[in-house]
A and B are shown apart, each in its own frame.
Chain A
Amino acid sequence: MKTMFEATPINHKNLGRQKLFRFLLGSMTALLIFPVILIMGTLIYKGAPVISFDFLFSNPTNGMTEGGIFPALLGTILLVLVALLASVPLGVAAAIYLSEYAPDNWFTRIINLAIINLAGVPSIVHALFGLGAFVIFFRFGTSILAASLTLAIMTLPVVIVATRESLQAVPMAFREACWNMGATRWQTIRRIVLPNAITGILTGVILEVSRTSGETAPIMFTGAVFFLPFLPQGVFDQTMALSLHLFVVSTQVPEMPEAVPYGVALVLIALVLMMNSLSIALRMYLRGKKKW
């Protein structure tokens, strides 16, 4: 005898279809992720034998086919540091304005549109801008300063967006309580909003470090060079960089031993993914700790 709630053929059909699509979408996810994991496995398998203390901390020799990558590693660190000095204050200021001061009007919308566009401009166009503006117009020459400023402008949206999000995550009631005590807007921001948002801002900064250290095109014509016999002495010197070094050793040097580019790629990817993982871990820690 049939009960009221027994599954009808239509129910069976629909449930079957649900299972089918669940399976299909799941396999698509797997198909997207597994090849990349396989590729990463290959990179590690072929690159790991090259990595050693010497590889990381000695100069390249014999037309870059031997020796290490120290100048490139140091160059990337310098480029990132100078870029951070420029973009973090500017980006945090922009985020404070957008989150705490900006009225909801057409002008703010244009600012947001500009931020989205700045993130969407092709990296090679940023390179052209860096060349035209910093290298030629401001006469910085091809230097760490010019390259870092180009990188800073390119990654500015990363800092702005992350900082704005963490500022907006601070509950409005915190601000209102502070205003009611007679504090000005800036006092409220400095004593209440920023301390509560600082970890979130840090997450964004780390993410920017990751983005900045992997970029190649923007620094190609603004400050990074294929090979330098000496280390940079100041911000007006040129430098080698890890990302450009990978391009050079994999395309420009004849008779390069196969393992060297794999090693460089592995170091670069390890650097970038470590920064990203740190940022993700920080975000999760923050989520667990949140009191409101």
Chain B
Amino acid sequence: MKKQTLAATKVSDFDRLNRDWYIDKTVQALVFIGGISAIIFIIGIFVFITKEGFGFLVGDFSFKEFFFSPNWRPTSENRATYGILALVAGTASVTGLAMLVAIPFSLGTAIFIAEFATGKTREFLKITVELLAAIPSVVWGFIGLAIMNPLIIDIFDVPVGLNVLNAGIILGLMAAPIMTSIAEDALKAVPDRYREAAEAMGATRWQVIYKVVLPAAKNGLLGAVLLGVGRGFGETMAVLMATGHAINIPTSVFDSVRALTATIAAELGETAVGSPHYQALFTIGNSLFIITFIINLIADLVVRGVRKG
């Protein structure tokens, strides 16, 4: 008899008429809010930055002046000009030099840690790299200011040591540990059976790395480089303190420059909320946001490409 009543109860009744079921659904809804919070924040960042800079975009903004004029004179009394070309050149030169330093060293280090180092050495190197990645950017800026600056003046016999070279090296040292750990992950993601197969054919360690591991990890490594570029591009405090902060299209690594991020950090405090200058700074921020968004998107697509393959 009992069996019949059990069969008469629908499966859905079992599920639903239960306090635990409701708790479960509530929690699911709550954690879902957490899950979509990242999307909300990304949209929120874009909306609020655009909103604060909107008056400039519809007012003083001229596409040609903004992107192609090297004159950033937002406080000029006669006629304020808002050209970010020199600032873009500053950011590009510093990031470019930083990548010149960081890419070979971080990829080399990643290969050494993942493929050559063993046991204690490997553990030590991994922890060191992780700790280096944790040093705050303001400390790097201070290092550029207090240690690198006199060093560059001494070695190269130049009047000012706060320049593209200084900021580039600082930024390179900053980005390298992060790129190293991402690149190492990419190398580790290459299945061991690839290596074993190559070794079984009589390949040396280096041949295995060069002919098998690197081609297989190519996309992951490219992703690491892109994320490093994004990092360098968006870095603020170190660049503010080590570049010399002078508006300049650099012709040599000993020229002082000024970066996009640093301009916002240095000037935002002195502008009145809602003034064209204030809004122009938000518009720079918006460009930074969009560019890093695109870099991250490409990095994600590149890395995901390798996982599907």
Contact B134 A102 (CB under 8 A): no
Q: Which B residues between 137 and 161 are near A, CB-CB below 8 angstroms?
A: 137-139, 141-143, 145-147
Q: How far is the CA of A277 from the CA of B130 in the complex (A)?
A: 9
Interface centre among B104, B281, B293, by most chain A C-beta atoms within 10 angstroms, is B293
- What's the nearest-Cβ distance from chain A to residue B41, in Å? 5
Q: Which A residues between 169 and 201 are near B, CB-CB below 8 angstroms?
A: 184-187, 189
Nearest-neighbor residue (CB-CB) of A244 within chain B: B138
Q: Is B181 an interface residue (CB 8 A)?
A: no
Contact A14 B20 (CB under 8 A): no
Given contacts A157-B38, A217-B236, contact A26 B135 (CB under 8 A): no
The residue from B30, B34, B135, B264 contacting A269, defined by CB atoms under 8 A apart? B135
Q: Which B residues between 262 and 309 are near A, CB-CB below 8 angstroms?
A: 264-265, 268-269, 273, 281-282, 285, 288-289, 292-293, 295-297, 299-300
The number of chain B residues with a CB under 8 A from chain A is: 87
Given contacts A28-B109, A116-B300, A221-B268, contact A277 B131 (CB under 8 A): yes
Contact B138 A114 (CB under 8 A): no
Q: How far is the CA of A136 from the CA of B49 in the complex (A)?
A: 12
Contact B24 A184 (CB under 8 A): yes
- What's the nearest-Cβ distance from chain B to residue A194, in Å? 12
Given contacts A28-B109, A32-B106, A125-B285, contact A97 B296 (CB under 8 A): no
Contact A25 B20 (CB under 8 A): no
Please name all residues of chain B whose beta carbon is closer than 8 Å to the beta carbon of A137 when the two chains form the complex. 48
Contact B141 A247 (CB under 8 A): yes
Given contacts A25-B109, A125-B285, contact A36 B20 (CB under 8 A): no
Please name all residues of chain B whose beta carbon is closer than 8 Å to the beta carbon of A269 when the two chains form the complex. 135-136, 139
Q: Which B residues between 162 and 213 are near A, CB-CB below 8 angstroms?
A: 173, 176, 180, 204-207, 209
Please name all residues of chain A whose beta carbon is closer than 8 Å to the beta carbon of B21 when the two chains form the complex. 184
Q: Is A90 an interface residue (CB 8 A)?
A: yes
Interface size class of A (residues with CB under 8 A): 35 or more
- What's the nearest-Cβ distance from chain A to residue B227, in Å? 7
Contact B24 A185 (CB under 8 A): yes
Q: Is A101 an interface residue (CB 8 A)?
A: yes
- What's the nearest-Cβ distance from chain A to residue B97, in Å? 16
Q: Is A261 an interface residue (CB 8 A)?
A: yes
Contact A36 B132 (CB under 8 A): yes
The residue from B33, B136, B143, B293 contacting A39, defined by CB atoms under 8 A apart? B143
Contact B34 A92 (CB under 8 A): yes
Q: How far is the CA of A246 from the CA of B285 in the complex (A)?
A: 24
What per-residue 1/0 map shows which CB atoms of A220-251 lie under 8 Å from chain B?
A: 11000000000000000000000110110011
The residue from B41, B125, B269 contacting A118, defined by CB atoms under 8 A apart? B41
Contact A93 B31 (CB under 8 A): yes
Contact A243 B138 (CB under 8 A): yes
Q: Is B60 an interface residue (CB 8 A)?
A: no
Q: Is A122 an interface residue (CB 8 A)?
A: yes
Contact A117 B28 (CB under 8 A): no
Please name all residues of chain B whose beta carbon is closer than 8 Å to the beta carbon of A121 when the two chains form the complex. 42, 45, 234, 289, 292-293
Nearest-neighbor residue (CB-CB) of A35 within chain B: B173
Q: How far is the CA of A129 from the CA of B39 in the complex (A)?
A: 15
The residue from B134, B142, B261 contacting A261, defined by CB atoms under 8 A apart? B142
Given contacts A29-B109, A91-B34, A185-B24, contact A120 B49 (CB under 8 A): no
Question: When A and B form their complex, what is the total count of cross-chain residue pairs whose Cβ atoms lie within 8 Å?
Answer: 267
- What's the nearest-Cβ distance from chain B to residue A204, in Å? 14
Interface stretch, picked from B1-9, B61-69, B73-81, B111-119, is B111-119
Contact A32 B52 (CB under 8 A): no
Contact B131 A114 (CB under 8 A): no
Please name all residues of chain B whose beta carbon is closer than 8 Å to the beta carbon of A273 when the two chains form the complex. 131, 134-135
Q: Is B230 an interface residue (CB 8 A)?
A: yes
Q: Is B59 an interface residue (CB 8 A)?
A: no
Q: Is A44 an interface residue (CB 8 A)?
A: no
Please name all residues of chain B whose beta carbon is closer than 8 Å to the beta carbon of A24 when the two chains form the complex. 108
Contact A111 B35 (CB under 8 A): yes
- What's the nearest-Cβ distance from chain B to residue A263, in Å? 11
- What's the nearest-Cβ distance from chain A to residue B270, in Å? 11
Q: Is A132 an interface residue (CB 8 A)?
A: yes
Contact A153 B41 (CB under 8 A): yes
Q: How far is the CA of A157 from the CA of B173 in the complex (A)?
A: 23
- 21 A-B residue pairs with Cβ-Cβ distance under 8 Å, sorted by A, are A18-B204, A97-B32, A97-B34, A102-B35, A122-B236, A124-B236, A124-B288, A125-B285, A128-B49, A129-B48, A129-B49, A132-B48, A137-B48, A156-B38, A157-B38, A186-B28, A213-B136, A247-B237, A250-B146, A261-B146, A272-B135
Contacts A93-B33, A184-B20 aside, 15 further interface pairs with beta carbons under 8 A come to A28-B108, A28-B112, A42-B147, A100-B31, A115-B38, A125-B234, A125-B288, A156-B38, A214-B137, A220-B269, A244-B138, A247-B141, A269-B135, A276-B130, A280-B130
Binding site for A on B (CB under 8 A): 20-21, 23-24, 27-28, 30-39, 41-42, 44-45, 48-49, 51-52, 104-106, 108-109, 111-113, 116, 125, 127-132, 134-139, 141-143, 145-147, 173, 176, 180, 204-207, 209, 227, 230-231, 233-237, 241, 261, 264-265, 268-269, 273, 281-282, 285, 288-289, 292-293, 295-297, 299-300
